[in-house]
Amino acid sequence: MNELKKWEFGSLEWCEFAASTGVELLNQGKLDLSKPDWGFSEEYTHLPKRLLAGRDKAGWHFMIHNGKVSGGASIPTECLELPGFHACVEWALIAHASSFIYDLKGQNKRFKDEEILNNDLTNAGKGRKTKMLISKPIWPPGIGEALMGIDGEGLHNITARRLIHSPEVKDFPHTKYGVPILTKMTDEEKTRFYKLLGR
């Protein structure tokens, strides 16, 4: 593990690694590429400037289009126009949680913790400014299985193992799965968190 390069969430290097991992997993899945036109993308807003590396947009994608699998540390319109999973989310909302390793049960627990956080932010008058752009089918047959990987390690855990915690978000009180807990933050921490979110 010590030999593996690690980067901060949303950095150019990590986005490149995440995209290439998605492409590799889809290619290993031996899918019938003639059937689905499908895309996955994540864009992160309000990153610390030091992580932008000259980019206008920070994020990554992979897709199946015209019988080919491709991806990269970019968010092309061609990918966004495909059915699938496309998220635009504030970096500070998910940066810490994305570096935690978990199984399917843990993933579902993280989703519940994120729902609690988003509800708490809404109740505090700091509701969501970004949105998920999800088209049906989100995960066509075979794609979800391919992204779980041959050994079941999956896209999330492979990319999470390459992350280091960013100083801006690591010290907030958080759940077992890294999701910030707004109700346990001090007033100073809440102010800092809202600023990181751009809310």
Q: Which residues in the chain come in under a pLDDT of 70? A: 1-3, 130-137, 150-152
In a domain, 120, yes or no: no
Domains identified in the chain, total number? 1
Q: How many angstroms separate the CA atoms of 165 and 163, rounded?
A: 7
In a domain, 1, yes or no: no
In a domain, 14, yes or no: yes
Helix H or strand E segment including 16:
helix 12-28
**In CATH, what number is assigned to the domain containing residue 32?**
3.30.1050
**pLDDT value for 103:** 85
Quote the tokens at residue 119.
Answer: 């509800």
**pLDDT value for 70:** 98
**pLDDT value for 9:** 98
In a domain, 173, yes or no: no
Domain residues for the domain of 145 are: 7-105+128-167
**pLDDT value for 148:** 85
DSSP 33-89: TTS--EEEEEEEES--GGGTTT-SSEEEEEEEETTEEEEESS--HHHHTSSEEEEEE
* Single pTM value for the model: 0.92
